[in-house]
Structure 1
Amino acid sequence: MDMRPFTISNALTHAFWTPSPRGSLLVFAAAYVAGSMAMQLVGLFTQSEVYALYLRAFVDGGGDFTPYLDDLEDVSGQSNLASLLLMPLGFLVWVVFEGASQRRYIRWEGFRLRLGADEGRLAVVGLIWFALIMGASIAGVIAIFVSFGIGALIGGITAGSGLALVATLVFGAGMVWVFARLSPASALTIRDQNIRFFEAWSATKVCATPLFLSYLALAAMITILYFAAMFVMLVMAILLLGPAATGDGANAGTILAAIGQPGFWVPMGIALIALSFAGAVITHVFAGPAALAAKTDPNWIGEEGVPGAFS
């Protein structure tokens, strides 16, 4: 199969015409859903005391949280600390799935989770991303406050707010551009079997604009799909809980009792699993433009044994 040039349409569909063993994408999605659910269960366990207090306030207190504020403050600190300790686990999950995803794109491999040299190099790439995002966040906050201050000095609060809004939009667009230019870092690292990050900037020099537009298009599609899915889930919940919420003697207890019935959580659970599968596929699709940029990098001449120049 000839390597397709980098265009917006090719970037958006790269996940679906990349050669790989049959069913690789479905296996990836299934494992991703299982991993995500496991992480959510761990997170639920670490926050269980907080949820228990909210449930007591909702059922026993009729939604009045005032008597529970002191207890909530005590358990929140402990739960948040436990959640912070889970961050390395979440990072590890990202590393192994990123490696599996990029190996499919770059080496045409089937899906396989593992911890090896690829994952070690990707961990370094992830840490660079983390540092870059943290630095950009701090710089963005400073830029917004400075813009607001300058505008307020010149024309008052309204002018300051307007200038801060402009600064936010400009800074956000700039960061999306930078993200797009550096997005092939993981793909380049897998391709070259060496840590590559800032080399992505030169690799995307030729395809910078279509790459940027590809990510804007993906972000727009994901946003639309997300709100559509949330609307469907909301309608389902309303239809399933309608009798318990509107019937005679309806209260928080009857609603909670209805939520605990298979007639509610089975269809909602199936819908959530389907939504998680869609999210897993989207996660892989989102990495497609960056992988295509790495494979069409004009600075790369290909390597024997790694589908050559992909032709």
Structure 2
Amino acid sequence: MPTRFSFDGALSNAFRAAHMRSFPWLFAAAFALVVTIASLILTYLARDTFMEVMSGFESFAETASDEPDPYTVFSFFFGMMASLVPWAIAGGLGYWVIRAVFEAASQRRYIRDERFSLRLGADELRMMVVLLLWWLLYTVTFGLPVLYIFNGVMGIFEIGIDDMSEEEMARKMIPLVFGGMGLMLLVMPVYVFLATRLAPCFAMTIKDRKIVFLDAWNVSRGRFWPILGAFVILSVGGGIASSVISQVLQLIILMPFTGSMNNVQSAEEAFGAIFSPSFLVPMAIYGFATSFMSGLLLHFTGGPAAFAARHDPRGGVDDAAQMAVFD
């Protein structure tokens, strides 16, 4: 069945889809607001843990020798950071739900031409499953290089760092580092290929009103380069714009506070400064602005794959709408 899918359509889909004048800006503003508020709440709830970690590092720095044992340093570091793991998990779960809600809203615009709205219903629950499968794909793909480096580092510790000279350490670390980089370079094209072929899964989940993941492979068949090319153009262009805006905001908003931190003498003073309104308010403004750009990027970069799903070779959205006239 012929379709109207094209590279030009994939690239311009986000700008030609329904409600262009309102949807992207409402989407980005709502995304930024939710992410900023959620981040502030999580930071407030975890403030005591942050204080314990900062105080622990300060105490270790005061009591440690001039050349501390690397094994002791690593053990202390991971021991202190372990207390932050529950909060990291809570933040990850929160972002999972937020991302599913906004991803569903984004795809409803592309597939059903709906106006911007947020809710937590069947679409969002299905999207949560698809996101989980997507992150599992990412973890499995890049797990090999990470596992290789981790096992290598653990092997060096088992041998005993204290018994090694700097030259011996270098001889063991250099192959480990370059080997990990080599594996990363090998798996990167694999991930890009799989991610591009499966990218329509989010839009297909909205289109078919059921969980779609592997079946997205059939939708992207013969469309790999248009989807990837359009995504790269949008992500690179948007990434550059976001980076420039972020740098400008850092100079305007965060630099004055960073300079005032030079006079801080203790972890308690640093903690008080960080959790003071003079820092939290500028940080919230900075977080909102950068999250706004991230929201725009999230929505626009989803356009190419959504265009492929809208023009499913087995029956597109427009074809179904035309046939519905005769029902």
Q: TM-score, normalised by structure 2?
A: 0.71
Residues 162, 92 of structure 1: CA spacing in aligned structure 2 closer, same or farther, 3 A cutoff? Answer: closer
Deviations 1:81-129 (A, max 9, x none): 2432444333222221111110011000011112222223222222322
Give the corresponding residue for 2:225: 209
Q: TM-score, normalised by structure 1?
A: 0.74
**Contact 1:21 1:109 (8 Å CA) reproduced:** no
d(CA) in 2 for partners of 1:22, 1:158: 53
Q: Secondary structure at the match of 2:88?
A: helix
Give the corresponding residue for 1:151: none
Deviations 1:191-231 (A, max 9, x none): 11122211111211121012122333334334423432342
d(CA) in 2 for partners of 1:270, 1:193: 37
Aligned positions, number: 291
**Contact 1:12 1:285 (8 Å CA) reproduced:** no
Q: Secondary structure at the match of 2:312?
A: coil
Percent of residue pairs bearing the same amino acid type: 27
d(CA) in 2 for partners of 1:75, 1:167: 30
Note if 1:288 corresponds to 2:303.
yes
Give the corresponding residue for 1:100: 105
Name the aligned partner's letter for residue 25 of structure 1. Answer: P
Q: 1:84 aligns with which of 80, 83, 89?
A: 89
List gaps (5 residues or longer) in structure 1: 147-155
Residues 111, 30 of structure 1: CA spacing in aligned structure 2 closer, same or farther, 3 A cutoff? Answer: same
Give the corresponding residue for 2:22: 23
Q: Secondary structure at the match of 1:13?
A: helix
Displacement of 1:16: 1.8
**Aligned residue runs from structure 1 range 180-219, under 5 A:** 180-219=196-235
List gaps (5 residues or longer) in structure 2: 65-72, 152-171
Residues 176, 66 of structure 1: CA spacing in aligned structure 2 closer, same or farther, 3 A cutoff? Answer: farther
Residues 221, 75 of structure 1: CA spacing in aligned structure 2 closer, same or farther, 3 A cutoff? Answer: same
**Structure of greater relative contact order (alpha carbons < 8 Å, 6+ residues apart):** 2
**Contact 1:6 1:296 (8 Å CA) reproduced:** no
Bigger shift: residues 137-146 or 266-275: 137-146
Give the corresponding residue for 1:153: none
**Contact 1:21 1:110 (8 Å CA) reproduced:** no
Name the aligned partner's letter for residue 48 of structure 1. Answer: R
Residues 45, 116 of structure 1: CA spacing in aligned structure 2 closer, same or farther, 3 A cutoff? Answer: same
Give the corresponding residue for 1:150: none
Q: 1:173 aligns with which of 181, 186, 189?
A: 189
**Contact 1:106 1:291 (8 Å CA) reproduced:** yes
d(CA) in 2 for partners of 1:238, 1:107: 41
Name the aligned partner's letter for residue 108 of structure 2. Answer: R
